[in-house]
Structure 1
Amino acid sequence: MSNTVFCRKYQQDMEALPFPPLPGQKGQDIQGNVSKQAWEEWQALQTRLINEKHLNMLDPDSRAYLMEQMERFLDNQETDRAEGYVPPEA
């Protein structure tokens, strides 16, 4: 059976991340409180935000912006959207 965590986004027990996705205490916190599904959804949104907003990941302001958006996403708060993104049809 896989490891589970009580996911802060979905408020239920779900499959855990196999390792911390970020270094340090922040990564440990995410691994202990965010499900694999929620993290994968965040990564997809993060990629869209980086691409559509032309963020430079060497820029500290861009990294801070993404960290803020990540916290909002994981806390079920409204996040920015990639304006040009059109979801694929089912």
Structure 2
Amino acid sequence: MAQTVFCRKYQQELDALAFPPLPGPKGQEIQQTVSKRAWEEWQALQTRLINEKHLNMLDPESRAYLMTQMNRFFDNQETDHAEGYVPTGQ
């Protein structure tokens, strides 16, 4: 039986991540408060933002920007989107 977590994005019990997705306390926090479904959706958005905005992950400002966007995404706040992106099926 899969472990579950009360997901802060979806406000319900959903499948949990198998391990912390980031090192340190932030990774532990995400594992305890974010579902596998929400994390996978964030990864898709993160990839689009990195590619479309040409972010350099060696740049501390780019990493800080993504962390802000990640927190906004998980807290159901407005996030940036890649310009010109059209979701599948629309």
Other structure's SS at 1:26 match: helix
Contact 1:52–1:84 (CA under 8 A) maintained in structure 2: no
State the one-letter code of the partner of 2:60.
P
- How far the C-alpha of 1:84 sits from its partner, in A, is 2.6
2-structure distance, mates of 1:31, 1:77:
20
State the number of aligned residues. 90
Q: In structure 1, give the amino acid aligned to 2:48.
A: R
Partner Cα distance (1:76, 1:26) in 2: 18
Structure 1 unpaired stretches of 5+: none
Q: What is the RMSD computed on CA atoms of the aligned residues?
A: 1.0
Percent identity of the aligned residues? Answer: 79
Unpaired stretches in structure 2, ≥5 consecutive residues: none
Q: Does 1:70 align with 2:84?
A: no
Structure 1 runs of 4+ off > 3 angstroms?
A: none
Which residue of the partner structure matches residue 83 of structure 1?
83
Alignment correspondent of 2:34? 34
* TM-score when normalising by structure 2: 0.96
Kept after mapping to 2: 8 A contact 1:4/1:13: yes
For normalisation by structure 1, the TM-score amounts to: 0.96
User: For the residues of structure 1 that align with 2:24 and 2:57, how far apart are their CA atoms?
Assistant: 19
